[in-house]
Structure 1
């Protein structure tokens, strides 16, 4: 919520800390009201964080004083005393116009600022009686030259013993403010004038009463020649025996100020004479020699026993021996046959040139111009070496031989070559760490930005922000392309806006041509597709977009999103996966995908599936082997594990009941929804199977072993019942035969009886 401050205030402020009569409170009384700008209503009663600032302008500017307070409001109104926490300095109200700014957190400062007006305490300043100002009326350092009219101060306005150094701003009194012959010792506190109160060249004889200055008025070590007008003090102004050692500021008396006590001879110095207990001219016993000018006046030749100069040392070990710092304010040239034409440039070594402003050649070079190092660009640097050229502005060469930084038709600034030989950093902000015959950037009218080569030999980083870490004959050609190392590798083709971000980790003769494609290493691998990847191996190719070759030899991932791995695996279709495990070594022996989204797995040593840490067993008779014991034979037969040692809780089966359950199990013809309707199957469903037999893990699946077990148990029960029925049939057949035999006997007997009749 933004707030508007509608303020009526009274300003109470003093400019000194004096507690004498008419002293004023050193705070500002401020009253105001806060209202909501949207409704015009007072803000809720609360405590607000308010920051008050005093400016010398009504808008913008830097605060001269600030104070942050926690302020309670009542019906939007508040009343504060500003300056109780941070009293304003005496300089805040030196000028007439001041404005008060108010900020209520978290809102910005309110606008406009409030102009600060006069206060009742300030009205007395317009009517001050003559001679009414004394020490009790003046705040500390309150009187400055801007407060006094020229030549308006004389003895009639200053009470005796009033002016002391605590009343005057530092070095603020000069001759324009003091009437002639005004200041006498009766006006100055004893020993209260020192160098901090008097502007340079202020006190002249026209300002001082005759012989009014004596030792009682001058603080020790005060008077130096910077305080006195040239040749303006004579004996008429200074009382006898006034100026002693204690009155002279240290370092104020120079040799030029001392008159010799005799006729000096060249080479003499001021020496202390113990016999005379005074200073006198004498020979310098510890030094000898001198100098002569050459006929043209171009240099000075030393004339001494060693022709050596020592600065800060008593016995120089070289022609110039300096113990300390040396300041050279323009250019410097150290060595042999060097050229220095740049402003504030530095050159050292032999046959070197510092031609650019602020350029540096720290050393190196050689016996002739062919070995010369040159720093041509502004702020360019060659640290050493031979035949190096720092041509671009702010370019740098650490050392080595025949290296160039910032070359070409449009030299790139801030190019760097760390060292090595015959390296060229052409591009903007290009870098070569070292090596031989490397080139970062291209020579031409449009240099690329920030290519980098770490080292190696014959490497090229031509794309903007491209990088070659090292190796030999590598080429990073596209934008943001990278080659870690290796030999003869390429990243990108360099077309505008194409194949940027290609990466080759290393290897030999690999080509990452797709945008953001990656080759980790290997030999003769190619990544053509955008975002394609070849992890390694030899003669592999990832051509589809986002395709991958995991490794191996002769593999190709031609489809988008395809994957190939192993030996001569061909993932030719989009989304296909081909993995080949073979050691045939025959290039013509390839395994290929047949359709989109197909996974092809080839294992000449068969397959093994496991979820444990173990060694896969051998055996060519098992096409697909598993750690569970189940396997698929090479003939296509699935074999389940049924080891007694792997089973428990054996229970008998009621065959008659099982047959009844089989009889209740619905067996129908159906097709899977994911298959074509013409593809049908016959069998039960898992829900009925579990409900009737109560076997299996859920009502969604049927294992292959359970139907087989139920069928076997049912067959056993059927066999049992069949055997029982067979025995009964045989029994009945025997009985029938016996009955037939008895019947025949009976018939035969009856037939014989009838014949006898």
Structure 2
């Protein structure tokens, strides 16, 4: 009995909730009906007002000769725009009906919530300016978007393309044409897209023929590789997949993922190849790079021409810069100056650093104080260390004889480096040298300027000892001579008669 009571109470509660929801729905529908009735009353008042004004104008202007909108046509047009679907009694559902305004008396403004073309899915909806089409909309097909075509009336979307957009531009002899679905032409003249999702931003006679390719602007540019890009410039082409040309003139990026940033007549033909700019440069190998300059070639894999003129990086991992530099072996670095007009500089040994600079080299090791470093001048065959008095401080005289004694006590030997066992060297160990003289900044090496200084001091010490020895020898020789004279005086001369 208790369960039956509970079940009855639950059913009654559920029924009440349903009734409340239905009452709420009815109230909402009643509000909607009232709004539609108000809207219809407003539209009816507008129609009556326009009908009255039309009658007055007809009576006033019958003798003027102007072509007026017929009252029935005007009302039919207004009703059609208002969504009332007014039709002439003889017109079929597919025949356009009504007219709003005339060529002599156009409407000043049109306010509407919706403009709808012929609902057959095939007839385009056009907006005319004068007698020329300025804008066209075509319906989509199922889940695909329709097309939007603005600009000159000759602009078009070819074939069965959908989701395409032409933002404007074009002329009768140079229309903009979209051939791929979901492709876009922003404007310009004579531009064309030839594959799906391609884009031409503007400019003149540009073609984006690769899938998802882009031409930003410029003139006579083409992005023919899939996902390729030409940003601008003139007569540039990105034909490699995912290749890029930033701008310039007659540049070509035909390697996969290759790039030419700009310049004139440059080519990036290798996969991942890069040409930064300049003129007539070529990066033809995998990961090859030419930074710029004139007529440079990077044809070795992972090779680089930093810049300059007439340089070639043929070797794998080679690097060149300057003028007429040639790195033909793997791992070569060849750097030259500007004076080598005809001579071609190269080295036949792989993994070698080769430089040619007519006025020598200068390496600085301190950018804060002085001119610390070394240099090699024109024609020199060894480095010069900076050693002028102006570059020094804390100058202390040297005890040359003490240095000589320390040098005499150094253990000298011949030896080979661990990594150069076939080559012999001679000298002290760096640790012993540092302990004896305290020169240089480390006990791991001996700077040549310190070794030279120690040898200078030792020579001076030796010279001083030799001078002291010579002085003693001279003194001894003088004393011997004096003794010999004294002996000769003290000893009488012996004759034959004696």
Cα distance change, pair 450–748 in 1 and its aligned pair in 2 (3 A): same
Aligned residue among 670, 673, 683 for 2:418: 673
Give the Å deviation of 1:743: 3.5
Aligned counterparts, 1:385-424, within 5 A: 385-391=152-158, 392-399=161-168, 400-401=170-171, 402-407=174-179, 412-424=180-192
Q: Is the 8 A contact 1:343 1:356 kept in 2?
A: no
CA distance in 1, matches of 2:36, 2:447: 111
Give the Å deviation of 1:352: 5.5
The yes-or-no answer on 1:479 pairing with 2:241 is: yes
CA distance in 2, matches of 1:596, 1:122: 98
- 2:16 aligns to what? 142
2:308 is paired with a residue of what secondary structure? Answer: strand
Aligned residue among 430, 437, 440 for 2:208: 440
Structure 1 unaligned spans of 5+: 1-21, 23-117, 127-136, 146-166, 173-194, 201-221, 227-247, 256-268, 270-283, 292-299, 333-340, 360-376, 442-447, 493-498, 615-625
CA distance in 1, matches of 2:35, 2:297: 89
Give the Å deviation of 1:144: 6.1
The yes-or-no answer on 1:693 pairing with 2:437 is: yes
CA distance in 2, matches of 1:663, 1:169: 118
- 1:76 aligns to what? none
Q: Is the 8 A contact 2:400 2:460 kept in 1?
A: yes
The yes-or-no answer on 1:380 pairing with 2:147 is: yes
- 1:19-41 deviation per Cα after TM superposition (whole angstroms, max 9, x unaligned): xxx9xxxxxxxxxxxxxxxxxxx
The yes-or-no answer on 1:358 pairing with 2:166 is: no
Give the Å deviation of 1:459: 1.5
CA distance in 2, matches of 1:515, 1:489: 16
Aligned counterparts, 1:724-735, within 5 A: 724-735=468-479
CA distance in 1, matches of 2:362, 2:245: 39
2:16 is paired with a residue of what secondary structure? Answer: coil
CA RMSD of aligned residues (A): 4.4
- 2:455 aligns to what? 711
Give the Å deviation of 1:538: 1.0
- 1:587-607 deviation per Cα after TM superposition (whole angstroms, max 9, x unaligned): x32211321111111112322
CA distance in 1, matches of 2:415, 2:429: 10
Aligned residue among 627, 632, 636 for 2:371: 627
Cα distance change, pair 143–465 in 1 and its aligned pair in 2 (3 A): closer
Cα distance change, pair 344–171 in 1 and its aligned pair in 2 (3 A): farther
1:393 is paired with a residue of what secondary structure? Answer: coil
- 2:61 aligns to what? none
| TM-score, length of structure 2 as denominator length | 0.76
Give the stretch that moved more between structures: 695-704 or 596-605: 695-704
Cα distance change, pair 708–479 in 1 and its aligned pair in 2 (3 A): closer
Aligned counterparts, 1:294-333, within 5 A: 302=70, 318-320=105-107, 324-325=111-112, 327-331=114-118
| Bigger relative CO (Cα 8 Å, ≥ 6 apart) | 2
Aligned residue among 329, 348, 360 for 2:127: 348
Give the Å deviation of 1:698: 1.9
Give the Å deviation of 1:656: 4.5
Cα distance change, pair 196–667 in 1 and its aligned pair in 2 (3 A): closer
2:55 is paired with a residue of what secondary structure? Answer: coil
Cα distance change, pair 170–685 in 1 and its aligned pair in 2 (3 A): same
- 2:224 aligns to what? 462
- 1:594 aligns to what? 348
2:420 is paired with a residue of what secondary structure? Answer: coil
CA distance in 1, matches of 2:134, 2:457: 105
Give the Å deviation of 1:139: 6.1
Q: How many residue pairs align between the two structures?
A: 445
Aligned counterparts, 1:57-206, within 5 A: 121-123=5-7, 142=16, 169-170=22-23
Structure 2 unaligned spans of 5+: 42-47, 59-67, 82-100
- 1:365 aligns to what? none
CA distance in 2, matches of 1:509, 1:685: 59
1:142 is paired with a residue of what secondary structure? Answer: helix
Give the Å deviation of 1:688: 1.6
Q: Is the 8 A contact 2:134 2:151 kept in 1?
A: no
Q: Is the 8 A contact 1:556 1:571 kept in 2?
A: yes
CA distance in 2, matches of 1:249, 1:511: 69
| TM-score, length of structure 1 as denominator length | 0.51
Cα distance change, pair 547–715 in 1 and its aligned pair in 2 (3 A): closer
- 2:276 aligns to what? 520
Which protein has the bigger helix share? 2
Give the Å deviation of 1:610: 2.4
Cα distance change, pair 541–741 in 1 and its aligned pair in 2 (3 A): same
Aligned residue among 286, 290, 301 for 1:545: 301
2:473 is paired with a residue of what secondary structure? Answer: helix
Give the Å deviation of 1:358: 1.1
- 1:288 aligns to what? 55
Cα distance change, pair 435–119 in 1 and its aligned pair in 2 (3 A): farther
Cα distance change, pair 456–727 in 1 and its aligned pair in 2 (3 A): closer
Aligned residue among 287, 291, 308 for 1:531: 287
1:579 is paired with a residue of what secondary structure? Answer: strand
CA distance in 1, matches of 2:393, 2:323: 46
The yes-or-no answer on 1:741 pairing with 2:495 is: no
Give the Å deviation of 1:453: 1.0
Give the Å deviation of 1:439: 1.6
Cα distance change, pair 288–508 in 1 and its aligned pair in 2 (3 A): same
CA distance in 1, matches of 2:55, 2:348: 104
CA distance in 2, matches of 1:432, 1:590: 45
- 2:97 aligns to what? none
Cα distance change, pair 251–601 in 1 and its aligned pair in 2 (3 A): closer
CA distance in 2, matches of 1:710, 1:250: 111
CA distance in 2, matches of 1:249, 1:738: 151
Q: Is the 8 A contact 1:397 1:403 kept in 2?
A: no
The yes-or-no answer on 1:452 pairing with 2:214 is: yes
Give the Å deviation of 1:613: 6.0
CA distance in 2, matches of 1:170, 1:513: 75
